[in-house]
Amino acid sequence: MTDRTLEVVTKQIQVMGCEVFEVGLFNPMANGNEPVMIPRTWDTEALLRSVPWLKHQNRNGRNIYVRPQGEHRLSLIDDLGAADIQNMKASGFTPALVVQTSPDNFQAWVKHPEVLDKETSTAVARGLAQRFGGDPGAADWRHFGRLAGLTNRKIQYKSSDGLYPFVRLRESSGTEYEKGREFITAVRTQLEKDRAERARISEAVRSPRSGLTGPIKGIDQFRADARYGGDGTRVDLAYAVYALSHGAAEAEIIAAIHSRDLSHKGSQKRQEDYVRRTIHKAATVVRGESLCR
């Protein structure tokens, strides 16, 4: 008898095309004698050989996730709707893999024309999430995606008869997206600009003027500064660095950033996430640390 789960898992990991995978078996309701996460690192052969064990763990309440080990040429865009997938295709970002994680929710993996370093991979993932409405909290170089062929054990998806929906493999072309080289080049160009900007801000923070007392500049003065070209994201970061280095309270900085319309960032939660990340980056610059981790 054909093992449908094995077929689907085989297709997904073949399309992902990695030599080694990290698999996570997650159960937030695990009792005190069990770990919440069971991690495994397997090559393709070991992963396929372990499908019966994964099915057993899944039936016992664990959600099964997968990601490439080490640097790779994939990016995951999480929390997409069907219209978002169509938008990706129409825009030249056709996914190599589309996984339906619940009745109205999808994850898309895009395949780049080359292996990306961690910094570039994270920046690309964030750019893709912002462009297509994905979850920014899942946008980094090594985020887990669901493994198809098993069930989504989140309690909100449990049916009246006690069943959970299967995670389904909807598309598996395995092809590189059309705008790959163009998009990656643009991301790398922006990363270089960001490095230069951080260096300029860091130098300004360390200058003797940063010790001056008296009223500090407001965010509107940064918005009017031609050096930022009207780029709200650059303005928010520059102001947050300046304000933190001059002793402004975090609540004051949050209120200042929120004084512009952030609805393009998404839901209220995503707007708040954006502000939190901006202040974290600013604090990193003030401490003289690298943002690339």
Return averaged pLDDT per consecutive 10 residues of the chain, 293 residues in all: 88 96 93 90 97 96 96 97 97 98 96 96 95 92 96 91 94 96 95 79 55 70 86 90 85 91 87 90 74 41
Q: DSSP 3-state helix, strand, coil percentages of the chain (rounded to 5)?
A: 50, 20, 35
- Among 178, 204, 229, residue at a domain's last position: 178
Q: Are residues 90 and 172 in the same domain?
A: yes
Q: Tell me the CATH number at 127.
A: 3.30.70.1790
> What's the total number of domains in the chain?
2
Q: Are residues 163 and 197 in the same domain?
A: no
Burial class of residue 245, CB neighbours in 10 A (0-12, 13-18, 19+): buried
Task: Round to whole Å and give the CA distance between 82 and 148.
Answer: 17
In a domain, 169, yes or no: yes
- Among 153, 178, 203, residue at a domain's last position: 178
pTM, 2 dp: 0.73
- Among 121, 146, 178, residue at a domain's last position: 178
The pLDDT, as a whole number, for residue 230 is 86
What tokens does 284 get?
A: 């990193």
The pLDDT, as a whole number, for residue 187 is 95
Which segments of the chain does DSSP mark as H helices, in order?
Answer: 4-16, 44-49, 51-59, 82-90, 118-132, 180-206, 219-223, 232-245, 250-257, 268-286
Q: Are residues 135 and 194 in the same domain?
A: no
In a domain, 183, yes or no: no
Q: Are residues 20 and 133 in the same domain?
A: yes
Task: Round to whole Å and give the CA distance between 9 and 225.
Answer: 53
Instruction: Note down the domain range covering 147.
Output: 4-178
